[in-house]
Amino acid sequence: MPESPEPGPPVGPDGVPAPARRPFFAGPADPSAWGPWGLGDVGAGILASQFLAAVCTVVAMGLAGWTSAEDVPMWGLALLQLPLWAGWVGALVVAGRKGDGVVAEFGFRAEWIDVPVGLALGVALQLVVLPLLYLPVLALLGKDNEDLSEPAKELAGRANGGTGWLLLLLLVGIGAPVVEELFYRGLLQRALLKRGLPAWASVVLGAAVFAAMHLEALQFLGLFVFGLVAGVLAHRTGRLGPSVAAHVGFNVTTVVTLWLTR
Q: What percent of the chain has pLDDT over 90?
A: 74
Q: Mean pLDDT across the stretch 84-113?
A: 96
Which are the contacts of 1, defined by CB distance < 8 A and separation ≥ 6?
none
| pLDDT at residue 84 in the model | 95
pTM of the model: 0.90
| pLDDT at residue 158 in the model | 85
| pLDDT at residue 5 in the model | 52
250 with 122: CB under 8 angstroms?
yes
| pLDDT at residue 21 in the model | 58
Taking the alpha carbons at both ends of the chain, their separation in whole angstroms is 77
| pLDDT at residue 70 in the model | 81
pLDDT tens, 105-129?
Answer: 999 999 999 999 999 999 999 999 9
Which of the pair, 9 or 222, is modelled with greater confidence? Answer: 222
DSSP code per residue over 82-116: HHHHHHHHHHHHHHHHTTT-HHHHHT----TTHHH
pLDDT tens, 152-195?
Answer: 988 888 888 888 899 999 999 999 999 999 999 999 999 999 99
**Burial code of 49-86, b = ≥16 C-beta within 10 A, e = fewer?**
beebbeebbeeebeeeeeeeeeebebebbbbbbebbbb
Give the burial class of 18: count Cβ atoms within 10 A of its Cβ; 0-12 exposed, 13-18 middle, 19 or more buried: exposed
Sign of the Cα torsion 46, 47, 48, 53 reads: positive
| pLDDT at residue 171 in the model | 94
7: confidence class by pLDDT, cuts 50, 70, 90: low
pLDDT at 3 over 70: no
pLDDT at 8 over 80: no
pLDDT tens, 27-82?
Answer: 888 888 899 999 999 999 999 999 999 999 999 999 998 988 888 888 999 999 99
